[in-house]
């Protein structure tokens, strides 16, 4: 009996050490501290057990979390999942979750945020934001702002934005044109920064009450 308990204790100790080492590696590769990664782990565990409790976030769990937290367009919700799913295997592991959230960290460069936003709005992954994708972007922004406009007004906004951004006149927006558009209208990437990611341990202190991980 004592040997079994001792074996269980050592297994738990090894598991904790392995998790600490993994968290330390993530902290060295991202703007997050080890304690903030511990907080993200608790959030990840909560999300990954919504439907299937297997330490993986499935698409259904991810979309459900997005729809609960904000008015998210279906196309963009799926696109965000695909960008988070770095291995493209249909699920999000913890490492992918942390590395993907890095783009929303206040300390991440504006250039990286602009690039990520371009990939997000390039729904068909053609290397361009085309007119219908631009319209989806406008609709998503309006939805998050709780604004309701007529179809004619929306079409006019899309045409005006495309005319401003499409500098070479080919009917679509390439990445350089997107960068120039964002430089003139920084609000286009305002959703690329989540302020509380600067210090998760302050934003969500309940997540780290029991952590034994030092910064």
In angstroms, rounded to a whole number, what is the distance separating the alpha carbons of residues 155 and 106? Answer: 33
Angle formed at CA 38 by CA 33 and CA 42, multiple of 5 degrees: 145
* Nearest C-alpha neighbor of 31 from the set 200, 204, 210, 202: 200
pLDDT given at position 206 = 43
pLDDT given at position 49 = 94
pLDDT given at position 141 = 81
With beta carbons less than 8 A apart as the criterion, state whether 62 and 96 touch. Answer: no
With beta carbons less than 8 A apart as the criterion, state whether 67 and 143 touch. Answer: no
Q: What are phi and psi of 80, to 5 degrees?
A: -60, -45
In angstroms, rounded to a whole number, what is the distance separating the alpha carbons of residues 44 and 37? Answer: 10
46-54 CB contacts, 8 Å cutoff, 24+ apart:
none
Q: What are phi and psi of 33, to 5 degrees?
A: -80, 170
Domains of the chain, with CATH numbers? 19-107+195-208 (1.10.238.10), 110-191 (1.10.238.10)
pLDDT by position in tens, the chain (length 215): 555 555 554 455 556 667 888 899 999 999 999 989 998 999 999 999 999 999 999 999 999 888 776 656 677 889 999 999 999 999 999 999 999 999 999 999 999 999 999 999 999 999 999 999 999 998 888 877 777 889 999 999 999 999 999 999 999 999 999 999 999 999 999 888 888 787 665 554 443 333 444 44
pTM comes to 0.81
* Nearest C-alpha neighbor of 23 from the set 90, 99, 92: 99
pLDDT given at position 75 = 79
In angstroms, rounded to a whole number, what is the distance separating the alpha carbons of residues 193 and 31? Answer: 13
* Nearest C-alpha neighbor of 47 from the set 37, 36, 58, 38: 58
């Amino acid at each position: 009996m004592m040997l079994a308990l001792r074996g269980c204790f050592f297994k738990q100790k090894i598991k904790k050490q392995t998790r600490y080492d993994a968290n330390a590696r993530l902290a060295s590769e991202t703007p997050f501290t080890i304690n903030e990664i511990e907080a993200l782990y608790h959030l990840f565990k909560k999300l990954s057990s919504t439907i299937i409790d297997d330490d993986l976030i499935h698409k259904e769990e991810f979309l459900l979390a997005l729809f609960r937290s904000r008015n998210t367009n279906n196309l963009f919700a799926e696109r965000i999942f695909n960008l988070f799913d770095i291995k493209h295997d249909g699920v999000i592991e913890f490492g992918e979750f942390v590395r993907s959230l890095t783009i929303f960290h206040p300390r991440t460069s504006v250039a990286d945020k602009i690039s990520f936003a371009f990939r997000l709005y390039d729904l068909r992954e053609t290397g361009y934001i085309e007119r219908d994708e631009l319209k989806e972007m406008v609709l998503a922004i309006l939805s998050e702002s709780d604004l309701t406009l007529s179809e004619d007004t929306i079409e006019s906004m899309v045409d005006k934005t495309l005319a401003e951004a499409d500098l070479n006149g080919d009917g679509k927006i390439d990445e350089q044109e997107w960068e120039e558009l964002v430089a003139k209208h920084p609000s286009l990437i305002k959703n690329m920064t989540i302020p509380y990611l600067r210090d998760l341990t302050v934003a969500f202190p309940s997540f780290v009450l029991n952590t034994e991980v030092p910064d």
